[in-house]
Amino acid sequence: MATITRSLSSKVNGNGESEIMLRLSVSRELRLRLKSGIFVEASRFRDGKFIMPRADRKTLSELQTISDSLGSLESRLISLCVNTPPNLLTKEFFEDAVMRHNHPELFESVPVSRNFFSTFNEYLDTTQDGTKLSSHYRVLARLLERFEKYRQKITHQPFTLRLEDFTGEMVDSFKQFVIDEPKIYERFPSLYKEVSEVVKSKRKPRKPEQRGHNAVIAIMKRLRAFFNWCVKRGYIDRTPFATCTSIGAEKYGTPYYITIEERDKIADHDFSFKPSLEIQRDIFIFQCLIGCRVSDLMEMTPDNIIDGAIEYLPNKTKNERPEVVRVPLNSRAKALVDKYKGKVIDGRLFPFISTQKYNDAIKSIFTLCGITRMVTVLNPKTGEEERKPLNKIASSHMARRTFVGNLYKKVKDPSLVGALSGHKEGSKAFARYRDIDEDIKKELVNLLD
């Protein structure tokens, strides 16, 4: 991944300012030193960071503007490194990019309106191609297409989605459309009779079901990511999300997971009467021991095991935070790997089936092992708490929660556990997996004795 480091030129201009220099490392073979065209007083810049005054509001505002401009330029350069063919990445290419960023007025003529869905497909091709989230973004594209047609229906006027015309108010309208789609289907069923033209799809849209709160928020976050990308590419000046009402935040209930005793009960259960379930049981236990997501688990091969540990790059965060997660394998995990060594024809670590069939098998495994205790869960559609037995709601993600929850109970250190699960420090998502249970509360209270 391309990186940028900052330094300050030793030369000073007539205003007593020095130019910020950028060291752009594109690859081992291509490292460039670029003039940023952005100047600052030497006393206000040290070790690549701006030194902000505490009381001088005018100077603070000026420095913040310079900092924002520099950050925007760096984002643009990194984006070009990712999305431009390597043979075009030259010093002249980047110098031109810096000039275009700092002096757009020199390159602007008559503004050209970009086709909304062509731009969206460009976004898919350059950022989501081959990722696990690509299907979710195609769903978003089809939603936006139906939203466009819906606006045409209710206004009885020509309406076309345009990047530059997408306002904060339209973001709010689209969110309401996503929430109300089942009702809209009843009113305008013709919107759902045609195959989508905006993304590669051969199936007609199905009758939409009521989406839960978290599902709506996830859709809006993907739309926001698309507009942030458009800003970085220079296609629009600002994201419409800057002026919309809050898109909200996901709501989650108390995390639930199985104990180490319950995990071992499943691991030691005799499934010789049904070998297919024994295989899925072994995969589930291995997942409990390394804490990865199922999308990462299903891609693992023996090559992921290095010096007694499993190493992988999480699919979910590899575009924004490409950090390798390394989890040492304990004796049980190593035994499971050895059990299937040389027996998997497609070269993967285990004989996987589809994600849905894997989840179905996990529920059957829990039932046969008698793991049926009741837990409180949040209904994703109604937002109400419900009581359900573990065997009815068990899934592959429970393995990840089991890993994180039980580790946290042992070490009580979010940073340490996060290093093994792939959560960044301070991650809001991490808090969903760890349960401050009664034992930990008692230990905390006893500190007061």
Q: pLDDT per residue over 218-233, tens digit each?
A: 999 999 999 999 999 8
Residue 110: per-residue pLDDT = 44
| 248-262 per-position pLDDT tens digit | 887 777 778 899 999
Integer Cα distance of 261 and 263 in angstroms: 5
Assigned token pair, 138: 């195609």
Going by pLDDT thresholds of 50, 70 and 90, the confidence category of residue 240 is very high
Q: Where are the alpha helices (DSSP H) in 341-437?
A: 355-369, 390-393, 396-411, 414-421, 428-433
Q: Residue 203: count other Cβ atoms within 10 Å of its Cβ.
A: 7
Query: Which of residues 449 and 133 earns the better pLDDT score?
Result: 133
Residues 6+ apart with CB under 8 A from 255: 401, 405, 432, 433, 434, 435
Half-sphere exposure of 204 (CA within 13 A, CB side): 8
| 383-405 per-position pLDDT tens digit | 778 899 999 999 999 999 898 88
Q: Could you tell me if 383 and 213 are in contact, meaning their C-beta atoms sit under 8 angstroms apart?
A: yes
| 8-36 per-position pLDDT tens digit | 998 888 888 999 999 999 888 889 999 99
Integer Cα distance of 423 and 338 in angstroms: 28
DSSP 8-state secondary structure symbol assigned to residue 19: E
